[in-house]
Amino acid sequence: MKDRIDVSHERLTHIQKAIVEIETFAHTSNLNDFLNDSFLSSAILYQFSVIGEAIIHVETSLLEKYKYPWFKVRALRNLISHEYFNIKLDAVWDIIENDLPELKEVIETILDNEFKI
């Protein structure tokens, strides 16, 4: 059985991979594509859902060491999962452009600081 630290490491790695997927999808797209291509928006929303679910399984004491609004990550996951009919895709695109780079940076910092081999 995995211990909590191993689970945290694994889930942070899942988050890192999901961020790369979102960046890959968004890199070749723009807001108009995102708003009008349901495959693209569904793929990106799924990756945000992965991020939100994974963060739930990362040790709170570990996250608290790093300044970031973690509640927003969970809130977006809850919106996607439970309030999907209220999702504003332009707001999600704004998250991709303005918030995702900071999340990527803090996840990479945590992995480097806490799990460097």
Q: Please state the domain extents for the chain.
A: 4-112
pLDDT at 21: 98
Provide the whole-model pTM.
0.94
Predicted pLDDT at 117: 62
What confidence score (pLDDT) does residue 1 get?
A: 53
Pull the structure tokens for residue 84: 């999907």
H runs (alpha helix) in 1-117: 4-27, 31-36, 38-56, 60-63, 70-82, 89-98, 100-115
Q: Which residues of the chain have pLDDT under 70?
A: 1-2, 117
